[in-house]
Amino acid sequence: MSEPKLTKNQAFLAMYSFLDEYYQLTKSDDVGGLLGSMSILSDGHVADPAIQEDWDEAIEKVISGKVNAELQIEIT
């Protein structure tokens, strides 16, 4: 079975859905604020244009292999 391929917009919606589920569980103000900024308006753009720029940069980091999601805990 091959990996599913998502467009940038589908990946954005997947992250939105993930965060929305997390918000429903936690009612975190920070996550709620982020979701508000990520919300898609009737014209098809996100509520906060800077979020789109940040998303595009994140996509480029993933594509270029510059994301390290390995757990890193420093004990002091």
Percent of the chain with pLDDT over 90: 87
72 found inside a domain:
no
70 found inside a domain:
no
Domain span including residue 58: 8-63
3 found inside a domain:
no
56 found inside a domain:
yes
Give me the chain's average pLDDT, please.
94
In sequence order, which residues have a C-beta less than 8 Å from that of residue 67 and are 6 or more positions away?
58, 61
Region for 44 from its dihedrals, namely left if φ exceeds 0, alpha if ψ lies in -120 to 50, beta otherwise: left
Rg (CA), the chain: 15
Would you say residue 73 has pLDDT above 90? no
What are the pLDDT digits (tens) for 40-71? 999 999 999 999 999 999 999 999 999 999 98
68 found inside a domain:
no
51 found inside a domain:
yes
- What is the predicted pLDDT for the residue at 1? 76
45 found inside a domain:
yes
Q: In total, how many domains does the chain have?
A: 1
